[in-house]
Amino acid sequence: MTRLLASALFLTTLFIGCSKSEDDIQHINCDGLITDTLGTNDNARIYMPNAFTPNNDGLNDISRPIAANVASIDFKIYDDDNNIVFSSNVLGQGWSTTVASNSSTKYYYRIQTVTTANHKIGVCGDLYKLSCKPANAPTLYYEDQLTVFGFTGPTLETLPTCP
């Protein structure tokens, strides 16, 4: 009984102590994704870099998922207001746009695939469009770091730190 009361008190404190502003936007990029490959021995894979640098230097200029053993894809990129800024159903197609100098813009991606074994894999996350590296950026992964084993090795991308 004491344990139950302590748990209820903790949960009540947790929910009362958290408040959201009406201005807080809930990002929808992860809503409704399905992954049903667990225990199926499906060897499909989907990798998505979380950063790209569309500066036309031939390195990490496009934001796109890399897939193996995937039959179809629904790939979307959202801005901070949940507006779709890019959408594709073509495997290997990605978003390339211009980037302002000394800028870092955060977007959100959503990928839903159907594997060649007819299972689903859903992936979502944050995406940074960069011309400079933000001082407080999370660990950034670029397309040039990608191998068949995932993200390995260092990137060849060099960016100045954002002012």
- The 10s digit of each residue's pLDDT in 57-75 is 899 999 999 999 999 999 9
Distance (Å, rounded) from C-alpha 92 to C-alpha 29? 20
Going from the C-alpha of 46 to that of each of 49, 110, 157, the distances in angstroms are 10, 12, 22
Question: For residue 14, what pLDDT is reported?
Answer: 32
Domain spans, the chain:
25-139
- The 10s digit of each residue's pLDDT in 73-125 is 999 999 999 999 999 999 999 999 887 777 889 999 999 999 999 999 999 99
Helix (H, G, I), strand (E, B) or coil at 86: strand
The two beta strands, 45-47 and 66-68, are antiparallel
Query: Mean per-residue pLDDT for 23-28?
Result: 67
CA 137 to chain centre: 14
Tokens describing residue 131: 């011309």
pLDDT tier at 16, thresholds 50, 70, 90: very low
What is 25-139's CATH number, 3.40.50, 2.120.10, 2.60.40, 3.10.20? Answer: 2.60.40
pTM of the model: 0.80
